[in-house]
Structure 1
Amino acid sequence: MKRYDYLIVGCGLFGAVVAYELSRNGKVCIAIDKRNHVGGNVYTECVNDIIVHKYGAHIFHTNNEHVWDYVNSFAEFNRYTNSPLANYKGKLYNLPFNMNTFYQMWGVTTPKEARMKIESQKTEATMNTPQNLEEQAISLVGKDIYKTLIKGYTEKQWGKKAVELPAFIIRRLPVRFTFDNNYFDDRYQGIPIGGYTPIIEKMLQKSDIVLDTDYFSDKKFWNSLADTVIYTGEIDRYFDYCYGVLGYRSLHFKTSILKNQSNFQGNAVVNYTDADTPYTRIIEHKHFEFGQQADTVITKEYPIAFQTGIDPYYPINDDKNNMLYKRYLQLAQQQENVYFGGRLAEYKYYNMDQVIECALKITQNYLSFN
């Protein structure tokens, strides 16, 4: 095989941006991925004329105008606004927590009434400094909303009792005293018409691509093909778990085509917040692009325990895992001609705009000395 300037391990959003920037600056790149498609978790596919987000809902949102302009150079984005609903035992509530939610919960109609209700429930809890997620949530929204819309959902998602989870997980919980159902505060928001896969394909079109191939099946061989390696996979796996396995939560997706049913739930995303429902949410994909097809496609998301060999999704950034990551980071910084970037390599939950921003920065640094 020919010689390359860069080997990029992972054809997700981070790897694709890096490949595009390097290629357009004259570098010769090869990208490899263990999956049989490009795109990583933002991969979308067409099912019955409906664009399906195979690995969960991905709504692009950002306040970074440069990143917004950048991603719009690859595709046209629609005006989709994320306004999810919560279903608790058959009753619906608006998200994020706002005046609509408070009216549905308590019948209050003014911000003053809502604040008084929350404050009364916080006072009843008589807590000073929240020590865990449960205490933190109650200190923000009171007992009723916590028990109805947070507790069951969160415990399913993380596989632990709320009192066993750190407070920081929910510290930035959005609470609004306006009738605004827009989940994100970001200035720019939307979904690419036709899905994310065409964007990734455009980014990778000047790179050689090898799919359905595990980098670790012959790491020495793949490294020999290029002068420099950009690694976007799990950082602990790169070092053969020498210090131990980093903790994640994972997901199982169950997708169904509903024939001759044009509208299943009337919204793209509905969260199921009770403890008894095994899945955390149902996605109805056609609503991301305002579809009018005769059929519909839905996906149920089931949180599952992570183990080596399945895809990791959410890093468990508690003190134990963060300390373990720092040890791997020290090893990574000692590598010659190997650079680590992206959600898995940095053991950090990134939004898509943050992935692009980091990829652009890291590539600019490479280009400055290569």
Structure 2
Amino acid sequence: MKEYDYLIIGAGLYGAIFAHEAKKKGKKCLVIDKRPHIGGNIYCEDVNGINVHKYGAHIFHTSNKKIWDYVNSFVEFNRYTNSPVANHNGNLYNLPFNMNTFYQLWKVKTPAEAKAIIDKQVKEAGVEDPQNLEEQALSLVGADIYNTLIKEYTEKQWGRKATELPAFIIKRLPVRFTFDNNYFNDLYQGIPIGGYTKLIDALLEGTEVRLGINYFDSRQEMDELAETKVYTGMIDEYFDYQHGVLEYRSLRFEHEKLDIPNYQGNAVVNYINSEIPYTRIIEHKHFEFGEQEHTVITKEYPMEWTKKDEPYYPVNDEKNNEMFKKYKEMARQEENTIFGGRLADYKYYDMHHVVGLALKKTEETFID
């Protein structure tokens, strides 16, 4: 008989939900994480009364009432609405593309005028069968929107020319012929009052957590502790990169406290121009409508990923997806191990996806 029913590797959202649901079923869990804190990439740090999203902006949004009610059962969410702004050549544009954006671009005031310009430019682009991201974008929104708000930002984010990126990265581009700056169409949206760490704290209450522990430093010893493992890390690392290394894009963050009450007037401002090395600036106090006399901003710099860096965006091209299929097959055959979360699934998930997948897995695992 082993000491724990479950060893959960990773104290992020997936691992924390699994631990909470397992505990409700009377299971004994140990959660470990190589970082010195819980929460994974949604970890928030209190910096002089401002909850700083240490690994980039996270806005919870979903149309699934079950998922929304679930997260709200642990912490109250505020009414934050994601309405980013884009800076191109010093001019500001609202996102997503809507009537405010079209007025800023062309001074048009009616949906018919805006639609006529987009339709004309799409026709002029003449792209019937998009072969790359640039062609895909031109076939959807035309040259003005592409050149002003997509091209440089995308190339900076991915570190590759738009003509070298696969078309599927932009499956569709939301174009709204209304004056609506709400980035998401979901029914429910907000930020936990007090930050995401408060949510993870509540999920892990009563569960043993050990931080600063890398599973791979003492793998054999760790495996002896529990009947079953729940692994939320990189799937290729788990299998010692036997089929090769899956590729990611990474990010570097620069956090700065400023002795002014308001730096940019918005939580998220994207910087389009390629000569500006960061993709966006986050001003964290605006996520929670802060009125402090100071502020904290974060500049986000995209970068190529190495094994020393945090993996953020999977490069889901044909080569990597084929490699992942091989790892997925190995995972299916691995006994007493559950794989879950964005790194184990090699997929970019929004938070509501992770909540849904973790709940589905626990429902399958703990059948009454």
Question: TM-score per shorter chain, which class?
Answer: over 0.9
* Superposed displacement of residue 2, structure 1: 7.2
SS of the equivalent of 1:114 reads helix
> Which residue of structure 1 lines up, in the alignment, with residue 347 of structure 2?
348
Aligned to 2:243: 243
> What are the equivalent positions in structure 2 for 1:246-285 lying under 5 Å apart?
246-259=246-259, 261-285=260-284
Partner of 1:191: 191
Q: Which residue of 2 aligns with 1:293?
A: 292
Measured on the aligned residues, the alpha-carbon RMSD in Å equals 1.1
Q: Equivalents in 2 of 1:181, 1:140: separation in Å? A: 20
Equivalence for 2:144: 144
* 3-state secondary structure, aligned to 1:181: coil
Q: Hey, what's the Cα distance between the residues in 2 that align with 1:84 and 1:255? A: 19
Name the counterpart of 2:306: 307
In the other structure, the counterpart of 1:62 is 62
Counterpart of 2:21 in structure 1 is 21
Structure 1 counterpart of 2:273, one-letter code = D
Q: Secondary structure at the match of 2:367?
A: helix
How do 1:158-177 residues align onto structure 2 when only pairs under 5 Å count?
158-177=158-177
Deviation per CA, 1:200-219: give whole Å up to 9, x if none.
01111221111011000011
2:36 paired with 1:41? no
Query: Within 5 Å, which residues of 2 pair with 1:93-242?
Result: 93-242=93-242
Matched residue count: 368
Residue 78 of structure 2 is matched in structure 1 by: 78
Counterpart secondary structure, 1:130: coil
Give the secondary-structure state (helix, strand or coil) at the position aligned to 1:283.
strand
CA deviation profile, 1:176-207 (whole Å, cap 9, x unmatched): 11110000000000001000101101111221
Contact 2:215 2:222 in 1 (8 A): yes
Q: State the SS of the aligned residue for 1:368.
A: coil
Distance 1:321 1:2 in 2: 37
Letter of the 2:258 counterpart: L
Q: d(CA) in 1 for partners of 2:328 and 2:128?
A: 36
Find runs of 4+ consecutive structure 1 residues off by over 6 angstroms: none
The normalised TM-score by structure 2 is: 0.99
> Separation in 1 of the partners of 2:309 and 2:177?
41
Unpaired segments ≥5 residues, structure 2: none
Displacement of 1:232 in angstroms is 0.2
Residue 339 (structure 1) aligns with: 338
Counterparts of 1:228 and 1:178, CA distance in 2:
51
Match of 1:91 in 2: 91
